[in-house]
Amino acid sequence: EIVLTQSPGTLSLSPGERATLSCRASQSINSNYLAWYQQKPGQAPRLLIYGASSRATGIPDRFSGSGSGTDFTLTISRLEPEDFAVYLCQQYGSSPRTFGQGTKVEIK
């Protein structure tokens, strides 16, 4: 199965700053079928990005995804207070679908 490794584990930033999150796969992801989710404590994940770079419906344009093959990036251009959360990547190009361990974006 494909192992996804996210880095860093924790990102300490201030509102207004730029966040860059990485997701690296143990092998190439078919058709760049990589999604990003936001998860807040006690809540289910929310879809942000699919197909590595397509924003889901209703997601602000400060969220963007990029990358291909084994290396993917989620960028939040200017952090808003509601963006402090855990971010997960998931690949759906191969079975079983697998998740990264998450990056926590916390207020500095």
Partner 1 sequence: QVQLVQSGAEVKKPGASVKVSCKASQYNFSTYRIHWMRQAPGQRLEWMGRINGGNGGATYSQKFQGRVTITRDTSATTAYMDLTSLTSEDTAVYYCARSLGNNYIDFWGQGSMVTVSS
- Contacting positions for partner 1 (CB under 8 A): 33, 35, 43-47, 50-51, 56, 88, 90, 92, 95-102
Closer residue to partner 1, CB minimum distance, 36 or 84: 36
Closer residue to partner 1, CB minimum distance, 3 or 107: 3
CB of 89 to partner 1, least distance (A): 10
Question: Following DSSP, what letter does each residue of the chain receive, concatenated?
Answer: ---EEEE-SEEEE-TT--EEEEEEESSPPGGG-EEEEEE-TTS--EEEEETTTEEPTT--TTEEEEEETTEEEEEESS--GGG-SEEEEEE-SSSSPEE---EEEEE-
Closer residue to partner 1, CB minimum distance, 2 or 13: 2
Closer residue to partner 1, CB minimum distance, 17 or 46: 46
CB of 83 to partner 1, least distance (A): 19
Element (H, E) at 25: strand 19-25
CB of 101 to partner 1, least distance (A): 5
